[in-house]
A and B are shown apart, each in its own frame.
Chain A
Amino acid sequence: MRHGRAFWLFVGPFAIGLLVFVYVPIAWSLLLSFFDARNTVTPTEFVGLRNYVDMLTDAPFLRSLGTFSVFAAFIVPLTFVLALALALLVNQISFMKAFFRSVFFLPTACSYVVASLVWKLSIFNGVRFGLANTVLGWFGAEPIAWTVSTSPPWYWLVLVTLRLWLQLGFYMILFIAGLQRIPQHLYEAAWIDGASRGWQTLRYITLPQLRTTSVAVLLLLLIAAYQAFDEFYNVLGTDRGYPPFARPPLIYLYYTALGSGGQDFGHGSAGAVILTLLIAGVTLLQGRVITR
């Protein structure tokens, strides 16, 4: 097919942007991963697979991959179920539908950085007049250092509630779109066949019809879990660096590649490639399992 001038006029700038800002950096990073690239992006010393071997035997990197596999196993189903539940509720009600839809979707428009600072500095700060600690104080409990304490690891409560608040609305909208595409006559046919409103129609009509949406949502959730950065960096990071727990792979790689005084693009890029392969692998596996 031949494309006219209009096609390139509209697609061209976007394609060029994609090429320059996405594909070239990806290829460059792949190249860097085979070099000793300390404090330079035009390295000369080829080291083969050594960076990969180093990263695969690097305990903190492996630990961060492990932590975030557990994190994904927890946050993905939780967000999925809650987003679906919200979508069903909002889709059911007959009054102020647009209002509720907007209210739940609104946090999606909020900056991760801003939300992180609100969570860290006003809701979950550790002093006695923080919001969460004030509430605890009503029941006579001692203030808790939410983002500091590691036993119990209260910081997960902060991070998970923050992530849910930011993300639920977006996935809810995806589910609502999916729900609205289910033809009404399917439900009517089911009722005639004696299916009860509620659990039976949900189980046999709604969920199967939502399959495409569900696969897409799961995929996006999984990628988002492994790519966690913003809220972790802003809630747990300090000017002294990032603590060794709850450290997302991307944050570890960020410090490896761009940390002050030790820029190491070779190892950073190798880690990024490993992470990409891991995400791709898990995603494919998940697709396999669900669509079977």
Chain B
Amino acid sequence: MISRRRLLSLAGASALLAACGSNTGRGGNGQALKQWYHAYGEPGVQQAVERYAKSYTKTQVDVQWNPGDYDSKLATSLLSDGGPDVFESTPQISSVRAGQLVPLDDVFGDAKSDFSESILATHTVDGKIYGVPQAVDMQMLFYRKSFFDQAGVRPPSTVDELIDASRRLTKGGVKGLFAGNDGGGGVLGGPALWSAGLDYVRDHQVGFDDPVAAQAIGKLRELYTSDSLLLGAVKDWAEPDAFTQGLVAMQWTGLWTVPAIQKALGDDFGVLPFPKLTGNGKPSVPVGAFGAMVNAKSKRINEAKEFVRWLWIERTDHQEDFNLSYGFHIPPRKSIAGKASKLTSGAAADAVKFVQDNAKASNPPDWTSVMRTAFNDAVSRVVRDGAPADAEIKGAAQKARDELKRLYG
């Protein structure tokens, strides 16, 4: 999961709070293990993870909650000796190459086969697993059934139908679709590639160096210029507000919003994957999972690994609580996901099915920030400025190729 609610202004406050953290001196060698989370938006998560840590008896564990730009803060702290022992993130090839992460293959034991393979793959670099997946997050298209019925529009199954639906549902102060305040370029770039049967990176090669990619990204431009997108909403795509307030007929957001949407709209909504573009393409949903990782600079690697094993592998009840009691996430362990009653009906059940059939890694380990920036810039220029898609995509592909060459030779 991308840390999605960022308030830079609060970053300082968290540092202050951390400085006030109490150390009761419990635990063998005096110091507590430090564990970091980014700030989840759903109420109760912070208390829950603190509760888990407290119930661990072998070592004292201090949980630090990190509002703000978590990725940058974490990356910086991993360079120094002052970083956390255990933290949540998604592994990046650059951190692995820099020797910042401890391989956790031996932590899994027999439970490895119980974890969803596609999720484990997103935590694997050069054949080793670096994170124990905590919670699977996915994004999909939410739509208001009543709005569709009134307008006589069917749920879209191709990109063209999506654009058409968005246009026809725009009337009387209601917009067709909300896909982020940047006009969809940020969250729909990946789905657009997948809709045409392409990908970010494939077998260490650029996955979108193809004329069809320009066509797929061009569709996002068509959507943007259709005058049917909601732009500049108060809360961005990761929050359900625009959808629940009836400002739009469709919104691209995440599974985590399902409880809030259900509460506001009852069963007057449905969910869809991002549709396919052409015959070759497939519908898709971006999927990612934060995993618990161990800092290679930690002075207590073995204790940290043992804690991770206890928290996310032994204590299946914690994984269940963490995934289902607050926002909705899919438990990465099949045995827990299988018996989760909250995921067996309605939108959540559809989401689980999409993940089985249409999952694409939203943040694969070798999709580095250089490539991501180049690609996002290209998409943004095409979508918002009307720049020629083929030239922009070619430029981004070249940059990605250089970077892959640096990584894999």
* Residues of A in contact with B (beta carbons under 8 Å apart): 38-41, 60, 111, 113-114, 117, 121-122, 124-128, 130, 145-151, 233-234, 238-241, 243-245, 255, 258-264
Contact with A125, one of B9, B78, B233, B380 (Cβ below 8 angstroms): B233
With contacts A126-B231, A233-B8, A263-B75 known, what are 18 further pairs, Cβ within 8 A?
Answer: A39-B98, A41-B79, A60-B377, A126-B232, A128-B173, A145-B181, A145-B232, A147-B181, A148-B384, A151-B385, A234-B8, A238-B182, A239-B2, A239-B238, A240-B186, A244-B377, A262-B92, A263-B79
A126 touches B9 (CB 8 A): no
User: Does any Cβ of A come within 8 Å of B63's Cβ?
Assistant: no
Whole-angstrom distance from the CB of A259 to the nearest CB of chain B? 4
Q: Could you mark each residue 178-192 of chain B with 1 if its beta carbon is under 8 Å from any beta carbon of chain A, else 0?
A: 001111001100000
Given contacts A113-B8, A243-B182, contact A260 B369 (CB under 8 A): yes
B384 touches A243 (CB 8 A): yes
Q: Give the residues from 115 to 167 in chain B that come closer than 8 angstroms, CB to CB, to chain A.
A: none
Given contacts A113-B9, A244-B380, contact A148 B231 (CB under 8 A): yes
- A151 CA to B385 CA in the complex, in Å? 7
Whole-angstrom distance from the CB of A132 to the nearest CB of chain B? 10
Can you name 27 A-B residue pairings with CB atoms under 8 Å? Answer: A38-B94, A39-B75, A39-B100, A111-B9, A113-B9, A122-B234, A125-B232, A125-B234, A126-B181, A126-B230, A126-B232, A127-B232, A145-B181, A145-B232, A148-B384, A150-B384, A239-B2, A240-B186, A241-B373, A245-B384, A258-B75, A259-B72, A260-B92, A261-B95, A262-B94, A263-B76, A263-B79
Q: Which of A243, A245, A255, A264 has the most CB of B within 10 A?
A: A243
Q: Give chain A residues whose Cβ lies under 8 Å from the Cβ of B377.
A: 60, 243-244
Q: Give chain B residues whose Cβ lies under 8 Å from the Cβ of A261.
A: 71, 75, 92-95, 368-369, 372
B94 touches A127 (CB 8 A): no
B183 touches A263 (CB 8 A): no
Total A-B residue contacts, Cβ distance less than 8 Å: 124
User: Does any Cβ of A come within 8 Å of B247's Cβ?
Assistant: yes
The 7 closest A-B pairs by CB, nearest first: A126-B232, A240-B186, A262-B369, A145-B231, A260-B71, A261-B92, A39-B98
* Residues of B in contact with A (beta carbons under 8 Å apart): 2-6, 8-9, 71-72, 75-76, 78-79, 92-95, 97-98, 100, 173, 180-183, 186-187, 230-234, 236, 238, 242, 247, 368-370, 372-373, 376-377, 380-381, 384-386
Q: Give chain A residues whose Cβ lies under 8 Å from the Cβ of B5.
A: 239
Q: Give chain B residues whose Cβ lies under 8 Å from the Cβ of A41.
A: 79
B232 touches A39 (CB 8 A): no
Given contacts A113-B8, A148-B384, A263-B75, contact A127 B98 (CB under 8 A): no
- A255 CA to B369 CA in the complex, in Å? 8
B75 touches A260 (CB 8 A): yes
- A260 CA to B94 CA in the complex, in Å? 10
Contact with B234, one of A39, A121, A238 (Cβ below 8 angstroms): A121
A238 touches B3 (CB 8 A): no
- A111 CA to B7 CA in the complex, in Å? 14
- A41 CA to B385 CA in the complex, in Å? 38
Q: Give chain A residues whose Cβ lies under 8 Å from the Cβ of B180.
A: 238, 240
- A44 CA to B233 CA in the complex, in Å? 47
Whole-angstrom distance from the CB of A130 to the nearest CB of chain B? 7
B72 touches A260 (CB 8 A): yes
Q: Give chain B residues whose Cβ lies under 8 Å from the Cβ of A38.
A: 94, 97-98
Q: Give chain B residues whose Cβ lies under 8 Å from the Cβ of A259.
A: 71-72, 369, 373
- A259 CA to B72 CA in the complex, in Å? 6
Whole-angstrom distance from the CB of B27 to the nearest CB of chain A? 31
Q: Which of B6, B98, B181, B381 has the most CB of A within 10 A?
A: B181
The residue on B at minimum CB distance from A124 is B232
Contact with A148, one of B182, B373, B376 (Cβ below 8 angstroms): B182
B98 touches A40 (CB 8 A): yes
Whole-angstrom distance from the CB of A224 to the nearest CB of chain B? 19
Q: Give chain B residues whose Cβ lies under 8 Å from the Cβ of A60.
A: 373, 377
Q: Which of A126, A234, A264 has the most CB of B within 10 A?
A: A126
- A244 CA to B185 CA in the complex, in Å? 12
A127 touches B234 (CB 8 A): yes
The residue on B at minimum CB distance from A247 is B377
The residue on A at minimum CB distance from B189 is A240
The residue on A at minimum CB distance from B383 is A150
Q: Give chain A residues whose Cβ lies under 8 Å from the Cβ of B72.
A: 258-260
B182 touches A240 (CB 8 A): yes
Q: Which of A126, A261, A262 has the most CB of B within 10 A?
A: A261
Q: Give chain B residues whose Cβ lies under 8 Å from the Cβ of A264.
A: 370
